[in-house]
Amino acid sequence: MVDLEDIRSVTKDLPRSYEVLVRDRIKFRVGQIVYLALARDEQTMGIGFPKEERAAALAAEPHKFLPPSPSDERFRWIEVRLDALEYDELRELILDAWAMCVPKKVRREVFGE
């Protein structure tokens, strides 16, 4: 199981990423774009995720992924149970979500593309 400290360890060195507290929820942003938001109980997180891959992820791993709230369905977003994740998978999800929010130049600097 991963937790907030694991999330912070992945996000701390990502260019343009910062943590905010909004209505008692910890969120991670690039500019004004939220790419990760923890639930108040810190048991789940919402994270940027390609809409075209969402249905497949939900079908393949329902123990791990949950659909976004109805108000978030229009966004590239999915909910994830933290107790179902290992650190490496958490890191991959965070990097992918962050990469959707930053300019290509910044992404290239981190990934060496």
The pLDDT tens digits of the residues spanning 36-65 come to 999 999 999 999 999 999 999 999 999 999
Q: Can you give the pLDDT at residue 64?
A: 97
Closest CA to 21 of 6, 10, 34, 3: 34
Domain borders along the chain are: 4-105
pLDDT band at 113 (very low <50, low <70, confident <90, very high): low
CA 1 to each of CA 6, 11, 61, 80: distance values in angstroms, whole numbers, following the listed order? 10, 17, 16, 12
> Span 8-34, mean pLDDT?
96
Query: Angle CA(13)–CA(80)–CA(34) in degrees, nearest 5?
Result: 50
Q: Which CATH number fits domain 4-105: 3.30.365.10, 1.10.10.10, 3.90.1150.30, 3.40.50.300?
A: 3.90.1150.30
What are the tens digits of pLDDT across the range 7-20? 999 999 999 999 99
CA distance 45 to 106: 24
Closest CA to 98 of 47, 53, 51, 58: 47
Q: Can you give the pLDDT at residue 1?
A: 86
pLDDT at 3 over 70: yes
